[in-house]
């Protein structure tokens, strides 16, 4: 799931640059990744808000390594 969040963050960053290339493809990819993250079975347990923050932190660290 960390890799999934890292992919989401990289895709979002690619859309955030001035005049991104392949905007429609990136938006579609972001929607697919968002759906996978949102409906992942892990989020059915307790402590979801804190877990989401921690996931983003870990994904940022992984994204920096990529």
* Token duo for residue 9: 């963050």
**pLDDT at position 13, please?**
94
- How many CB atoms are closer than 10 A to CB 38? 8
More reliable by pLDDT, 8 or 47:
8
H-state helical runs in 1-66:
2-16, 23-38, 48-65
pLDDT tens for 6-29 read 999 999 999 999 999 999 999 999
Indicate if the pLDDT at residue 57 is higher than 60. yes
According to DSSP, residue 41 is labeled: G
- Rounded to two decimals, the pTM is 0.74
């Amino acid at each position: 799931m960390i890799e999934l969040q890292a992919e989401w963050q990289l895709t979002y960053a690619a859309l955030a640059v001035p005049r991104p290339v392949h905007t429609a493809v990136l938006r579609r990819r972001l929607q697919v990744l968002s759906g996978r993250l949102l409906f992942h079975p892990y989020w059915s347990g307790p402590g979801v808000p804190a877990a989401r923050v921690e996931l983003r932190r870990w994904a940022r660290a992984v994204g920096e390594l990529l």
